[in-house]
């Protein structure tokens, strides 16, 4: 098993942490937890970037020393990450002596290689990026990242011979390391390659206009350029340049070692990590990292969330209302890793209700409650090894592993979602509450409940890197307490739920969220898009579901915000929607089903095909009103028996708000029967 070293960028301390910072740290935590689970020896580093012009400026404005700003904000990052269950092994601050030692050592080596010289320099400088940009990269004269004003800066600097590394860098991009591309995803590798192939200019690596930084060895009056300073954190934290470099030797890749180092960064700083950093290392005669993984941005109002733009979302409020794991889950499951995503409270609430309140929370509480009711508060005492839930669990485990291997974190989350859906469908199909009534407590009933609980146990194991606190709570309720950090691949094998163990029926893990109440409770009125918060009732599919309690929830130890009830509709993706086929059908015969008040049996023509479809519309329509008319139908619904008649589709009707009666969706008679509706 390999030594794996994962790092996040180190965060500027002139800002308080926002969702963007949290995202990088949480996804890195998820990746490290996954690798630990698979048995690798993992080290995880995060920290703060405390030098540079921006911090000096803020300090000047507040009339305090820059270190006071750093001392104030670094703990905010550290605490936030800790409260989010981030299991980092180390937290580095660039103002620490161990870091300075590492920076001095790398500079000593770069200088010894003859890659430093003094020259004067002028150009467009972006203060928030702490970087010069060539004219061709500007976005209409502004910073390509922030869209903000640039400053024309002129000074004498120490230069690094970056141009010398053009060829070795291109070779690195072409070759990759250990069969993996140096930059992930591939699209970003191509961007980096084109940037380097277009020609590299030497890089200024010192500043004289600021004093808040590490003094540049050999160049009095210069401080080390903040990026050369900051990037070195990845090795100074391992003891490089210090008296004890055992961690450096164990975790930094080198010929003959099994170590892999992966830097997870936002796409904004990919160039620094994929161009400058390997060039510095090559110059210093040190091995380069194994891979730089660049993720997309969380956007707000279509702009990168950032302090300088002023559009940040702070995690505090969402966590207070919904708990830490709800936000961890959202950050991981809702962003296609590598691409940008828009953050909206409405999107958060909708996904929360669909995945956590309904998908996990409701399925868990139903399954546990039903089993507890059936078996006197205990888990079933019979196991079952051949069933649909097991097959779904095995498929989910495989998909989950594959997704992690390719940084498709959203698909790892999707594999859990799909397992939960299978369990929910299994409960609905098996109707164990009916079986218990009609046949009593049989071995078959034990097996059905076993499958549900066992499926949930495996879902919790799969959830453990993403939402560790929740996984632990699920294990506890299922009668087999376990720490998320103790999950191993053995936990994915079928059939481990303790038999006859005490079950813990408890309130829903994630109570349903009420969007209206959430927005009202924080005093911001209605959210932007009313459509996204429109309230509809979800139909419960069986009698055991009952009504879910609705609240603005606060699991995982957060203080709840009490609010009145009103459920949100669960969202479907375009792909999920596309699985349903709607068609126009013509009713060619109809008769009311005997002994049923509501049901109407219809013969419906779709082109050349005629099907029997039973619909609950007889209280509102007589058979003769239907014959010869065209309506909209769900065409690919699985067949179902209603009062002994097999129905092959569903007629679509609106529900009248006052009477609750159906009102059929009429179709223009000119549309041919069988036409698809999209």
Residues forming the active site? 18, 21, 126, 129, 143, 146, 304, 307
Taking the C-alpha atoms of residue 603 and residue 221, their distance in angstroms, rounded to an integer, is 90
Distances (CA, A) of 593 to 110, 587, 604, 613, 620: 87, 16, 16, 11, 14
Site size with ligand MSP, rule: CB under 6 A: 21
Contact between 231 and ligand MSP by CB under 6 A: the answer reads yes
**Nearer of residues 305 and 389 to ligand MSP, judged by Cβ:** 305
CB-CB contact of 39 with 1 (8 Å)? yes
Per-residue H/E/C for 232-264: CHHHHCCCCCCCCCHHHHHHCCCCCCCEEEEEE
Contact between 514 and ligand MSP by CB under 6 A: the answer reads no
SS3 label, residue 628: coil
Binding mask 233-262 for ligand MSP (x = CB under 6 A): x-----------------------------
**Nearer of residues 271 and 430 to ligand MSP, judged by Cβ:** 271
* Member of 3, 4, 6, 21 binding ligand MSP (CB under 6 A): 21
Contact between 77 and ligand MSP by CB under 6 A: the answer reads no
Contact between 10 and ligand MSP by CB under 6 A: the answer reads yes
Shortest distance, position 560 Cβ to ligand MSP, whole Å = 28
Instruction: Using alpha carbons, select from 390, 383, 306, 308 the residue that is nearest to residue 343.
Output: 306
**Nearer of residues 306 and 358 to ligand MSP, judged by Cβ:** 306
Contact between 20 and ligand MSP by CB under 6 A: the answer reads yes
Q: What are phi and psi of 657, to 5 degrees?
A: -60, -40
Contact between 306 and ligand MSP by CB under 6 A: the answer reads yes
Q: Helices (H) and strands (E) in the chain — how many of each?
A: 24, 25
Selected range binding ligand MSP among 226-234, 326-334, 495-503, 566-574, rule: CB under 6 A? 226-234
Phi/psi region, residue 267 (left: phi>0; alpha: psi -120 to 50; beta: rest), is alpha
Contact between 9 and ligand MSP by CB under 6 A: the answer reads yes
Contact between 297 and ligand MSP by CB under 6 A: the answer reads yes
- State the sign of the Cα–Cα–Cα–Cα dihedral 635, 637, 639, 644: negative
Q: Which two tokens stand for residue 482?
A: 């376990």
Quickly tell me which residue has 């009202």 as its tokens: 520
Sheet with 303-304, strands from edge to edge, namely: 303-304, 298-300, 341-342
**Nearer of residues 236 and 306 to ligand MSP, judged by Cβ:** 306
Shortest distance, position 27 Cβ to ligand MSP, whole Å = 9
Q: What are phi and psi of 383, to 5 degrees?
A: -105, 170
Q: Cis omega (within 30 of 0) on the bond before 185?
A: yes
Contact between 348 and ligand MSP by CB under 6 A: the answer reads no
Task: List CB contacts of 504: < 8 A, sequence separation 6 or more.
Answer: 368, 476, 477, 479
**Nearer of residues 216 and 375 to ligand MSP, judged by Cβ:** 216
Taking the C-alpha atoms of residue 84 and residue 323, their distance in angstroms, rounded to an integer, is 9
Contact between 269 and ligand MSP by CB under 6 A: the answer reads yes
Taking the C-alpha atoms of residue 165 and residue 282, their distance in angstroms, rounded to an integer, is 8
Contacts of ligand MSP in 44-73 (CB under 6 A): 49
Contact between 5 and ligand MSP by CB under 6 A: the answer reads no
Contact between 12 and ligand MSP by CB under 6 A: the answer reads yes
Selected range binding ligand MSP among 150-158, 161-169, 178-186, 266-274, rule: CB under 6 A? 266-274
Contact between 24 and ligand MSP by CB under 6 A: the answer reads yes
Q: Which two tokens stand for residue 635?
A: 């065409």
Name the residue whose CB lies closest to ligand MSP: 20
Shortest distance, position 268 Cβ to ligand MSP, whole Å = 5
**Nearer of residues 304 and 601 to ligand MSP, judged by Cβ:** 304
Selected range binding ligand MSP among 9-17, 411-419, 474-482, 529-537, rule: CB under 6 A? 9-17
Angle at 361 between CA 546 and CA 549, to 5 degrees: 45
Contact between 133 and ligand MSP by CB under 6 A: the answer reads no
**Nearer of residues 19 and 664 to ligand MSP, judged by Cβ:** 19
Contact between 315 and ligand MSP by CB under 6 A: the answer reads no
Contact between 407 and ligand MSP by CB under 6 A: the answer reads no
Q: What is the DSSP letter of 163?
A: G
Selected range binding ligand MSP among 21-29, 201-209, 239-247, 484-492, rule: CB under 6 A? 21-29
Contact between 27 and ligand MSP by CB under 6 A: the answer reads no
Q: Which two tokens stand for residue 238?
A: 């391992």
Contact between 298 and ligand MSP by CB under 6 A: the answer reads yes
In residues, how long is the chain? Answer: 678
Selected range binding ligand MSP among 15-23, 83-91, 97-105, 138-146, rule: CB under 6 A? 15-23
Taking the C-alpha atoms of residue 77 and residue 96, their distance in angstroms, rounded to an integer, is 16
Contact between 30 and ligand MSP by CB under 6 A: the answer reads no
Q: Specify the DSSP element, H or E, that contains 119.
A: strand 116-126
CB-CB contact of 422 with 388 (8 Å)? yes
Q: What are phi and psi of 586, to 5 degrees?
A: -110, 125
b/e map 498-507, b = 16+ CB within 10 Å? eeeeebebee
* Member of 304, 430, 477, 516 binding ligand MSP (CB under 6 A): 304
**Which residues lie near ligand MSP (CB under 6 A)?**
9-12, 20-21, 23-24, 49, 230-231, 233, 265-266, 268-269, 297-298, 304-306
């Amino acid at each position: 098993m390999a030594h794996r070293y994962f790092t996040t960028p180190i965060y500027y301390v002139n800002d308080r942490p926002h969702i963007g910072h949290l995202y990088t740290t949480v996804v890195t935590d998820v990746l490290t937890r996954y690798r630990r689970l698979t048995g690798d020896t993992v080290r995880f580093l995060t920290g703060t970037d405390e030098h540079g012009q921006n911090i000096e400026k803020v300090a000047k404005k507040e009339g305090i020393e820059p270190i006071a700003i750093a001392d104030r904000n670094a703990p905010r990052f550290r605490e936030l990450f800790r409260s989010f269950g981030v299991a980092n092994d180390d937290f580095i601050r660039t103002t620490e002596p161990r870091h300075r030692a590492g920076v001095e050592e790398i500079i000593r080596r770069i200088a010894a290689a003859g890659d430093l010289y003094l020259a004067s320099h002028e150009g467009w400088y972006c203060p928030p990026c702490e970087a010069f940009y060539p004219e061709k990269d500007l976005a209409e004269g502004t910073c390509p990242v922030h869209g903000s004003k640039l400053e024309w800066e002129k000074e004498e600097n120490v230069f690094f011979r970056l141009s010398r590394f053009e060829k070795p860098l291109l070779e690195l991009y072409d070759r990759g390391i250990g069969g993996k591309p140096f930059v992930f995803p591939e699209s970003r590798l191509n961007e980096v390659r084109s940037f380097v192939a277009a020609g590299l200019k030497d890089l200024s690596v010192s500043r004289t206009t600021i004093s808040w930084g590490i003094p540049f060895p050999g160049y009095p009056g210069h401080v080390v350029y903040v990026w050369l300073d900051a990037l070195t954190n990845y090795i100074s934290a391992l003891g490089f340049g210090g008296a004890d470099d055992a961690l450096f030797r164990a975790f930094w890749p080198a010929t003959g070692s099994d170590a892999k180092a992966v830097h997870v960064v936002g796409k904004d700083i990919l160039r620094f990590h994929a161009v400058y950093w390997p060039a510095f290392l090559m110059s210093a005669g040190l091995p380069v990292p194994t891979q730089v993984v660049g993720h997309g941005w969380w956007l707000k109002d279509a702009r990168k969330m950032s302090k300088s733009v002023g559009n940040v979302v702070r995690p505090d409020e969402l966590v207070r209302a919904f708990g830490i794991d709800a936000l961890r889950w959202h950050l991981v499951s809702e962003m296609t890793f590598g691409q940008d995503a828009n953050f909206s409270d409405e999107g958060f609430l909708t996904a929360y209700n669909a995945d956590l309140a309904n998908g996990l929370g409701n399925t868990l509480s139903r399954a546990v409650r039903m089993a507890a009711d059936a078996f006197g508060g205990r888990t079933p005492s019979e196991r079952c090894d051949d069933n649909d839930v097991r097959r779904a669990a095995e498929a989910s485990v495989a998909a989950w592993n594959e997704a992690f291997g390719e940084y498709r974190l959203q698909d790892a989350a999707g594999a859990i979602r799909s397992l939960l859906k299978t369990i929910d469908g299994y409960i609905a199909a098996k109707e164990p509450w009916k079986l218990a009534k009609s046949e009593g407590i049989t071995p078959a009933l034990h097996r059905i409940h076993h499958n549900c609980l066992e499926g949930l146990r495996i879902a919790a194991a799969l959830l453990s890197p993403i939402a560790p606190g929740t996984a632990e709570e699920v294990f506890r309720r299922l009668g087999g307490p376990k720490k998320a950090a103790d999950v191993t691949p053995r936990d994915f094998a079928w059939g481990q739920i303790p038999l006859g163990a005490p079950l813990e029926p408890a309130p829903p893990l994630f109570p349903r969220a009420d969007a209206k109440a959430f927005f009202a409770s924080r005093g911001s009125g209605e959210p932007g898009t009313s459509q996204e918060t429109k309230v509809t009732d979800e139909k419960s599919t069986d009698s055991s579901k009952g009504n879910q309690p609705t609240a603005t929830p606060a699991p995982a130890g957060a203080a709840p915000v009490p609010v009145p009830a009103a459920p949100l509709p669960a969202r479907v993706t375009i792909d999920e929607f596309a699985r349903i086929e709607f068609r126009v059908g013509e009713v060619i015969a109809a008769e009311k089903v005997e002994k049923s008040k509501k049901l109407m049996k219809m013969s419906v023509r779709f082109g050349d095909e005629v099907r029997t479809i039973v619909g609950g519309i007889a209280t509102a329509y007589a058979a003769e009103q239907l014959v010869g008319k065209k309506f909209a139908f769900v065409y690919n619904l699985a067949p179902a028996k209603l009062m002994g008649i097999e129905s092959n589709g569903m007629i679509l009707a609106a529900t009248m708000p006052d009477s609750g009666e159906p009102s059929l969706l009429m179709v223009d008679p000119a549309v041919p029967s069988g036409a698809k509706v999209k």
